[in-house]
């Protein structure tokens, strides 16, 4: 991919990732590396968190941030190891996690994801909150290795266990477990310091999000390090608190639906104003969006006439 094609691809990624990406000065982004032990690292730049597991003959990487950060992210990884990136795993299709696909693939990495990620990247989608169309991305950014329920990837000395959690943040979520490092990368099924998004137009749901967290709680012990989709590292104790918030939020919105409230009436009710909004420092838009995504993932389908 030449620089002009890369620029065009970046423009598509921006459109797929929302206005936030367009407001970001990528030249100012610093890729911050945290050592998780056992040759495993978390890298925080812009967009989703990246996890890197270094083997003796290659590297397994989880999520590639935005396309314009490819060079910075690659440089940060090169300081950890001179081995090639063999696999780049997408935890879901959103552009702040998949933006680096085409450029890392050009470098020689195999892009791996759930089969629905390839579907979303190749067909596009619609933002359920704004109605904006998320365009397809070029074929060179599609995953070339996909799976349905689970998959194991290996480089010498490292193993990544991939599994699908259904109808959670999206319909194509993957979590990655590095057992020997006791690290779980969750993608956006877990976020820290902010409300999670639920991409309900492609099958995401609050019910599936809670089920995903239940999966992680069964897998984790008190020493497990959890790399969320966004925000700082978390652990099992904090994950239990996150689950409790999701369950309470679900139940409040479910009651509003049972009471016959419309989506707008649910927003006006401000069901999270007294507690959760304050805890995550949510503004009015963020709070209303959280109400809306839960509402839309719970509301019964419209009756056919």
Q: Does the predicted model carry a pTM greater than 0.95?
A: no
CA distances from 111 to 105, 190, 208, 223 (A): 7, 22, 25, 30
Q: Degrees (nearest 5) of the Cα angle 181, 60, 17?
A: 110
pLDDT of residue 8: 37
Residue 275 burial (CB count, 10 A): 11
Question: Reduced to 3 states, what is the DSSP secondary structure of residue 255?
Answer: helix
Q: How far apart are CA 140 and CA 129, in angstroms?
A: 28
Q: What span, in angstroms and rounded, lies between the C-alpha atoms of 26 and 46?
A: 8
The CATH class, in words, for 3-237 is alpha beta
User: What tokens appear for 73 in the block?
Assistant: 């992210």
Q: How far is CA 243 from the centre of its chain?
A: 17
Q: Give 90's contacts (C-beta < 8 A, 6+ positions apart).
A: 63, 64, 97, 98, 101, 111, 112, 113, 114, 117, 143, 174
List per-block mean pLDDT (blocks of 10 residues) for the chain, which spans 305 residues. Answer: 37 44 83 98 96 98 97 98 98 98 98 98 95 95 98 98 98 98 98 96 97 98 98 97 98 98 98 97 97 95 59
Domain ranges, ordered by start, for the chain: 3-237
pLDDT at residue 303, rounded to an integer: 60
| Residue 16, pLDDT score | 44
Tell me the C-alpha distance between 64 and 51, whole Å: 9
Q: Extract the tokens encoding 258.
A: 């049972």
Strands 85-89 and 59-62: parallel
Neighbouring residues of 180: CB distance < 8 A, sequence distance ≥ 6 = 38, 158, 159
Which tokens go with 302?
């419209």
The predicted pLDDT at position 23 comes to 65
3-state secondary structure 54-94: ECCCCEEEECCCCHHHHHHHHHHHHCCCCCCEEEEECCCCC
Q: What is the phi/psi pair of residue 135, to 5°?
A: -75, 160
How high is the pLDDT of residue 22?
A: 58
pLDDT at site 302: 62
CB atoms near residue 150 (< 10 Å): 11
What residues contact residue 69 under an 8 Å CB cut-off, 6+ apart?
26, 29, 31, 45, 46, 47, 99, 100
The H or E element that residue 102 is part of is helix 101-106
What pairing do the DSSP bridges indicate for beta strands 145-147 and 110-114? Answer: parallel
CB 50 within 8 A of CB 24: no
What is the pLDDT, as a whole number, of residue 24? 82
């Amino acid at each position: 991919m030449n620089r002009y094609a890369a620029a065009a691809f970046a423009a598509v990624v921006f459109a797929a990732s929302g206005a936030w990406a367009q407001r970001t000065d990528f030249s100012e982004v610093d890729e911050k590396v945290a050592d998780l032990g056992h040759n495993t690292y978390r890298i925080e730049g812009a967009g989703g968190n990246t996890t890197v597991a270094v083997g003796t003959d290659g590297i397994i990487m989880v999520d590639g941030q935005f396309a314009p950060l490819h060079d910075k992210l690659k440089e940060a990884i090169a300081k950890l190891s001179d081995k090639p990136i063999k696999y780049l795993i997408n935890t879901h299709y959103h552009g702040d996690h998949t933006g680096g696909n085409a450029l890392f693939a050009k470098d020689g990495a195999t892009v791996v994801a759930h089969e629905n990620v390839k579907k979303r990247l190749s067909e596009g989608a619609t933002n359920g909150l704004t109605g904006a169309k998320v365009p397809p991305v070029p074929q060179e950014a599609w995953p070339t290795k996909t799976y349905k329920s689970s998959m194991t990837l290996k480089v010498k000395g490292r193993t990544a266990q991939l599994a699908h959690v259904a109808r959670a943040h999206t319909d194509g979520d993957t979590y990655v477990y590095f057992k020997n490092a006791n690290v779980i990368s969750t993608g956006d099924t877990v976020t820290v310091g902010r409300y999670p998004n639920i991409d309900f137009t492609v099958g995401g749901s609050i019910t599936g999000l809670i089920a995903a967290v239940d999966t992680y709680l069964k897998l984790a012990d008190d020493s497990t390090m959890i790399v969320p989709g966004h925000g700082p590292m978390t652990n099992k104790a904090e994950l239990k608190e996150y689950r409790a918030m999701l369950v309470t939020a679900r139940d409040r919105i479910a009651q509003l639906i049972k009471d016959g409230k419309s989506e707008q009436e649910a927003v006006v009710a401000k069901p999270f104003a007294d507690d959760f909004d304050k805890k995550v420092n949510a503004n009015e838009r963020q709070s209303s969006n959280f109400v809306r995504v839960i509402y839309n993932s719970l509301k019964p389908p419209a009756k056919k006439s």
